[in-house]
């Protein structure tokens, strides 16, 4: 029979690597809490229309990367619903914001999420069909200050802090402004005109975008198209006074906070709903897939989804790429980011009669906070010692005599010394320094 494998573009995450994933998630949760963000968990699948409207028909995501299927209709009268595995989470968060009327009361909502996303892309290093994102959104009615450039700067400063606390060395922030919806419409016309003579020399996608959505051309990844893209007019010249001032205020706040950035006039990002500030954090160690995260302001998204006016700013960070970056750094640096740390103790029952008492002892020790592994009474002592030596600092030997007397034998693999310890003192003893001499 053919063996079954994980589907192309998906993969299993195994220990000890999952410890690094957990550490990143924990650090993110701690940082988000300090900036007063709360966690939101939205469904993994949504109505396809949400992404068509919320991400944009003309984007790569919606036009070719989504996992979509027709759900079975429950009754004859019912239409089958088109469902899609979420390719990103901002649309889901804004849908939830609208659905639960989170803007009522004029409060700014600060929400973060951690979870898997799905895109049918060509799998390669740093690019998978199921991947994980950590993201956050600050969204609210205009009266909540959600439009303020200070919010943009706060989010960017938080990201700089998070990447630093994760000890990601050498990140680079690129930033741009794509202006208001009106600025973008104006720029799109300028671009359309500029593209007319050159589009025939570009890739098939760009030839199509040049007509349907010229802005998307700037996001093209085809190397041969880059020299042409370089010659196109820049969006900065199409911004109105208000957008220019907003952008200047974001940059001034970043300067004040000491967050370094690089302006990139070509940065437009892949999603249709972005307005004003757009940004990306990149890392040189990632190769072709060099974006650690991307984000920006999306002042018109809520309305595009049928909701009230609710300006917002957010980002999505590729967790897989953070892991790759940290692993590469770890190979370069001697200090370890995760190691398969030994247990505090390995309990070795000497016979099958000691199995049940060994489990009871393990329970006691684990309840006291120790990390404990347990053997089996059918093992010979030699075998127990071999296993224990590989996965724990110490072995606790539990034979018939030890059970009767209530005094167990503890052997320390680091010092090679052995000690008799009473059961009452065992937990405290095992919590002591591994290197200490037994009394
Ligand atoms: P890229 O240009 O690399 O395709 P994108 O513009 O499609 O990225 P976003 O939709 O903004 O990316 O997603 C935010 C982040 O999520 C990216 O910066 C990246 O770190 C991560 N990401 C996106 N797609 C994938 C994928 N298929 N596999 C792993 N990580 C991904
Ligand atoms: Mg992409």
- Residue 285's pLDDT is 79
Q: How far apart are CA 224 and CA 221, in angstroms?
A: 9
Distance 361 CA to ligand 1 centre (A): 48
Q: Which two tokens stand for residue 342?
A: 């030994």
Q: Sign of the C-alpha dihedral, residues 317, 319, 321, 327?
A: positive
- Residue 435's pLDDT is 65
Check pocket membership of 23 for ligand 1, CB cut-off 6 A.
Answer: no
**Closest residue CA from atom 25 of ligand 1:** 127
Contact 438, 419 (CB under 8 A): yes
Distance 61 CA to ligand 2 centre (A): 7
Q: Which ligand is nearest to the CA of 117?
A: 1
**C-alpha distances in Å from residue 22, one per residue of 28, 318, 343:** 10, 14, 18
Distance 383 CA to ligand 2 centre (A): 51
Atom of ligand 1 nearest to the CA of 292: 20
Check pocket membership of 294 for ligand 1, CB cut-off 6 A.
Answer: yes
pLDDT digit of tens for each residue in the chain (439 aa)?
A: 899 999 999 999 999 899 999 999 999 999 999 999 999 999 999 999 999 999 988 788 999 999 999 998 777 778 889 999 999 999 999 999 999 999 999 999 999 999 999 999 999 999 999 999 999 999 999 999 999 999 999 999 999 999 999 999 999 999 999 999 889 888 989 999 999 999 999 999 899 989 888 888 988 888 999 999 999 999 988 899 999 999 999 999 999 999 999 999 989 876 777 899 999 999 987 777 789 999 999 999 999 999 999 999 999 999 999 999 998 887 766 555 555 789 999 999 999 999 999 999 999 999 999 999 999 999 999 999 999 999 999 999 999 999 999 999 999 999 999 999 999 999 999 999 876 544 4
Check pocket membership of 109 for ligand 1, CB cut-off 6 A.
Answer: no
Distance 97 CA to ligand 2 centre (A): 25
**C-alpha distances in Å from residue 69, one per residue of 47, 84, 85, 129, 130:** 10, 6, 9, 16, 17
Q: Specify the residue for token string 């320094």.
A: 433
Fold of 17-180+240-328: BirA Bifunctional Protein; domain 2 (3.30.930)
- Residue 437's pLDDT is 47
- Residue 274's pLDDT is 85
Check pocket membership of 315 for ligand 1, CB cut-off 6 A.
Answer: no
Annotated domain spans of the chain: 17-180+240-328, 342-431
Name the nearest CA neighbour of 125 among 270, 282, 290, 12.
290
Name the nearest CA neighbour of 313 among 240, 250, 258.
250
- Residue 439's pLDDT is 43
Distance 115 CA to ligand 2 centre (A): 17
User: What kind and span of H or E run contains 370?
Assistant: none
Q: Which two tokens stand for residue 322?
A: 């953070």
Q: Under 8 Å CB-to-CB from 121, ≥6 apart: which residues?
A: 9, 65, 127, 128, 129
* CATH code matching the domain that covers 342-431, chosen among 3.40.50.1220, 3.40.50.800, 3.30.70.270, 3.90.1150.10: 3.40.50.800
- Residue 334's pLDDT is 52
> Which of 178, 291, 295, 317 for mutating ligand 1's site (highest number of atoms within 8 Å of CB)?
291
Distance 287 CA to ligand 2 centre (A): 15
Distance 107 CA to ligand 1 centre (A): 30
Name the nearest CA neighbour of 296 among 180, 214, 176, 186.
176
Q: Specify the residue for token string 């820049």.
A: 234
Supply the DSSP symbol for 352: G
Name the nearest CA neighbour of 29 among 126, 136, 147.
136
Check pocket membership of 86 for ligand 1, CB cut-off 6 A.
Answer: no
Distance 302 CA to ligand 1 centre (A): 22
Q: Specify the residue for token string 């979420």.
A: 86
Listed in sequence order, the DSSP H helices in 374-439 are 381-391, 400-405, 423-431
Atom of ligand 1 nearest to the CA of 127: 28
- Residue 416's pLDDT is 93
**Closest residue CA from atom 2 of ligand 1:** 291
> Which of 63, 124, 131, 319 for mutating ligand 1's site (highest number of atoms within 8 Å of CB)?
131
What SS3 class is residue 253?
A: helix
């Amino acid at each position: 029979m053919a063996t079954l494998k994980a589907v192309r573009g998906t993969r299993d995450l195994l220990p000890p690597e999952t410890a690094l994933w957990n550490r990143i998630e924990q650090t993110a949760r701690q940082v988000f809490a300090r900036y007063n963000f709360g966690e939101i968990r939205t469904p993994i699948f949504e109505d396809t229309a949400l992404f068509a409207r919320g991400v944009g028909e003309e984007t790569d995501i919606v036009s070719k990367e989504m996992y979509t299927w027709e759900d079975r209709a429950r009754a004859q009268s019912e239409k089958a619903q088109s469902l899609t595995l979420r390719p990103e989470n901002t649309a889901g968060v804004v849908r939830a914001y609208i659905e639960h009327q989170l803007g009522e009361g004029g409060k700014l909502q600060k929400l973060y999420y951690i979870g898997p996303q799905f895109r049918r892309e060509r799998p390669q290093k740093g690019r998978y069909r199921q991947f994980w994102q950590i993201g956050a959104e600050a969204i609210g009615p205009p009266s909540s200050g959600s439009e303020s450039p200070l919010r943009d700067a706060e989010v960017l400063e938080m990201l700089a802090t998070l990447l630093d606390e994760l000890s990601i060395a050498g990140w680079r922030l690129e930033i741009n402004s794509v202006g208001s919806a009106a600025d973008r419409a104006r720029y799109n016309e300028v671009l359309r005109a500029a593209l007319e003579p050159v589009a025939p020399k570009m890739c098939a996608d760009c030839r199509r975008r040049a007509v349907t959505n010229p802005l998307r051309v700037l996001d093209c990844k085809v190397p041969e198209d880059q020299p042409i893209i370089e010659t196109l007019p820049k969006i900065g010249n199409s911004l109105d006074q208000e957008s220019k001032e907003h952008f200047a205020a974001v940059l001034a706040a970043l300067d004040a906070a000491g967050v370094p950035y690089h302006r990139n006039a070509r940065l437009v990002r892949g999603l249709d709903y972005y307005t004003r500030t757009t940004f990306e954090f990149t890392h040189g160690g990632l190769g072709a897939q060099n974006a650690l995260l991307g984000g920006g302001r999306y002042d018109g998204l809520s309305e595009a989804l049928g909701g009230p006016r609710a300006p917002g700013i957010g980002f999505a960070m590729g967790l897989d790429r953070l892991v790759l970056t940290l692993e590469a750094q770890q190979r370069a640096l001697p200090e370890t980011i995760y190691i398969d740390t030994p247990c505090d103790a390995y309990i070795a029952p000497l016979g099958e009669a000691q199995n049940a008492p060994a489990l009871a002892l393990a329970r006691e020790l684990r309840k006291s906070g120790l990390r404990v592994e347990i053997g089996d009474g059918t093992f010979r002592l030699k075998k127990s010692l071999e296993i224990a030596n590989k996965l724990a600092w110490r072995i606790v030997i539990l034979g018939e005599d030890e059970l009767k007397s209530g005094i167990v034998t503890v052997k320390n693999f680091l010092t090679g010394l052995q000690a008799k310890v009473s059961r009452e003192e065992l937990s405290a003893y095992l919590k002591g320094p591994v290197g200490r001499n037994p009394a």
